[in-house]
Structure 1
C-alpha cells in the first residue's frame, strides 16, 4: 500500500510529560510567592491602581544560562533601587519566531547546532526560570509553541504574543487559558487593530486541542483571560510618539478596553538601531511627566554587553553577555536609562493614593 501519512516526517521522539519535569524541578513556596505577587502587581498596573511603570527588560533571547543568571543578579539589584517608580521584570525569551529560517531559540535548539535537542532545552529553560525567580525577580517571556506553557508557564509572570502571531487563532486561544497577564503586539506592518482583536478574543472562553500535564492530547476549555493588553512595537513607521499613543488610547477606549498600553522601545520603534532605545524611553517618560496616563509599561532589549554576534555552536568562540539575535544595549546603558527614568518619574510628585502595596 502507498504511504499516505507522515510522508515528510523523519522521526517522532517522545517528550517527558509536563508533570514529570515539574516533579524533577519543583517550585518551592518562595518561588511561588515571587510569581504570584508579580502577576498581581502587573494586574494592578494594568488597571491603573499601581502607578509605577512596568518594565520588561533583558536579552533579546537567552542562549547562555550563565550570563543570563549574571544579568538577573544585576537586574534584581536595580529592581530594588527603582521600586518606588518602576516595576522591573526580566525578559527571558526562549523561543524566537523567524520570518524565514534561523535559530528558533534555546528550547528548540539549546546547542545551537541544528540538533534541536528540545528535551534538554525544556530542562534548561525550567531550571533557569527557577533560579531567576529564586532571586525574587519575576520573569516575562514570549510564548510561541502552544505546548511550551505546560512545561514552564507556572514560572512566568508576564507573557507576550509576538507581532508575527498576534493574528493567530491558536495563540489567542492559548492566551485565553494562561494564568498570567498577556501582551499582544501590533503586527510587523503596524496593524494595531489586529492586537485589539486578539485582546478581545483572548478575553473570551475557548475550546481547543492541547495536552494535559500527563502529556495526553485533550480538549482544553478556558474561561478567558481578562488581563490582556496591547504592546506597540512600531511597523512601517514608529508608533511611540504622543499622537500614536493617543490614537491607541482612543481605539482601546472605543472597544471598551482599558486605555493603557505598553511600548516596545526596540524593533521598528528605532528602525532597528538598538542604540536609540534610551531615546525612545526618554520620549515616553516625557509623555508621562506631561500627564499621559495611557503608558503603563515599556520593553527594553538589554544584555551585559552591547550589540550582537553571529550564532555559533562553538561556545568558546562566543563573546560573553552578547546577544546572538537582535542587538541589545549594554548593562551600563540599561542601568543609567532606568535610573534616569525612575528619577524623572519621581520628579512628577508622589504616586497617587492608589499606589503599590507595601
Structure 2
C-alpha cells in the first residue's frame, strides 16, 4: 500500500453485517503527491478549450476519443499512448485525438472493476495503489501531449483525476443518476452523456439539462470530508449515441431523430457516435463500418456529428483475466487493433482534408 495512506485496521464487529473500512488518501493528498504543475495545467486548459471549440462549431476538426476499452497494463497502455501521440501530430489539422484512459468499469453483476479498483488484477482491490497508478498514467499521457479522457463512474473517485481530464463520459447506466448529473454540473470540462441502454435519448437530454444548472448536493471535499458541494452548471455537455437493446442508432434516420430530440429540448445539437457497444453489435471489428458511415454523414454536411469513439488497443480482440495474459490485448470489451485503427484514422483525415481544401478553393 502507498506510504501516504493512513490505514484503519479491519476491525471485526459483533454485527457480522457491518462493513469493514480502510482509509484512502484524500484527493488533495494524491494531487499533492502527484501534482500537474503549471505547464501541464495550462496544457489541460488548452485541450479543454480545443474540445469546446469543436462542440461549439468554432473548430471544424473531428473529435476522436480512442484507446483501450480499459487500462490494465501500464506498459502496453503507454506504448499505445506513444503511438497515438505520434499519429495525433500527423493528423492534427483534421482530427483531434483524445486518449481513452478508462480506469473504472461498470459491472451489471460482478467482475473486474478496473485499474483504479484492482491494479494487480488478482482481486486484492488495492485501491490506494490503483488511484496512484491511474493518476501516474494519465499524467504521463499528458506529457506526451495527448488530451486524456475517462468514464466517471464512482463520483468519489472523480476528484482524483478531474484536473487531468480534457473530456469525460457518463455511461449509459449512470446517465439517469441524479448524483452523476450533479457531479457533471461541477466539472470544468466537456462531458458526453450516453443514451440510455434502451437506445432512447430522452434520459440523456434530461441529464444535460440538469447538468447545465447549478446544484447544491451532498459530497466529499478535496480533503475527504463530507460537505455541501455547490456547483455553477456545465454548459459543455453533449450526447453520445451508443445504440441500445433494439440495435444501432448511428444511421441517418437515428441521428436525425436524436438531433430533433435535442432541438425540442433547446439543447445544442452536437452528437458523438460510439462505434462500439450496440452500434457495432459488440463486434469490435465492425467499428470501422460504423466510423465510415458517420464520417460519410459528416462529409455530406451533417456538422451536428462532432465526434466518434473507438475502442482500440495494440492488438485486436479481448481475453479473460488469467495468469498468462497476451500483451496489448484488452481484458474487457474487444478492441480494434492498432494497425487497423491507424489506417482508419489516416483515411478519415485524408477525406476531411480533401473536403477542407475544396471548400477553401471554392471560397
Specify the TM-score bucket, using the shorter chain as the normaliser. Answer: over 0.9
Is the Cα contact below 8 Å between 1:31 and 1:136 reproduced in 2? no
Partners of 1:229 and 1:5 in 2: how far apart? 49
Matches within 5 A, 1:1-358: 8-235=17-244, 236-312=246-322, 314=323, 317-350=324-357
CA distances 1:136-184 after superposition (whole Å, capped 9, x unpaired): 1110000000111111110011000001101011111110111111000
Compute the displacement of 1:8 (Å): 2.5
Compute the displacement of 1:34 (Å): 2.2
Aligned equivalent of 1:356? none
RMSD between aligned alpha carbons?
1.7
- The runs of at least 4 aligned residues of structure 1 exceeding 4 Å deviation read 4-7
Higher relative contact order (CA 8 A, sep 6+): 1
CA distances 1:207-250 after superposition (whole Å, capped 9, x unpaired): 11111111111010101111011000001210000111111111
Q: Which runs of 5+ in 2 are unaligned?
A: 1-12
CA distances 1:81-101 after superposition (whole Å, capped 9, x unpaired): 111111000011000001111
Is the Cα contact below 8 Å between 1:55 and 1:299 reproduced in 2? yes
Using structure 2 for the length normalisation, give the TM-score.
0.93
Pair 216,240 (structure 1): closer, same or farther in 2 beyond 3 Å: same
Is the Cα contact below 8 Å between 1:108 and 1:121 reproduced in 2? yes
Partners of 1:250 and 1:349 in 2: how far apart? 27
Partners of 2:18 and 2:294 in 1: how far apart? 48
CA distances 1:81-130 after superposition (whole Å, capped 9, x unpaired): 11111100001100000111111101111112211111110000111111
Pair 5,302 (structure 1): closer, same or farther in 2 beyond 3 Å: farther
Compute the displacement of 1:352 (Å): 7.5
Is the Cα contact below 8 Å between 1:34 and 1:137 reproduced in 2? no
Is the Cα contact below 8 Å between 1:109 and 1:116 reproduced in 2? yes
Q: Which runs of 5+ in 1 are unaligned?
A: 354-358
Three-state SS of the structure 2 residue aligned to 1:319 is coil
Compute the displacement of 1:187 (Å): 1.1
Compute the displacement of 1:347 (Å): 1.8
Three-state SS of the structure 1 residue aligned to 2:160 is helix
Partners of 1:351 and 1:167 in 2: how far apart? 43
Compute the displacement of 1:350 (Å): 3.6
Aligned equivalent of 2:10? none
Partners of 2:27 and 2:53 in 1: how far apart? 30
**Aligned positions, number:** 348
Partners of 1:192 and 1:73 in 2: how far apart? 35
Using structure 1 for the length normalisation, give the TM-score.
0.94
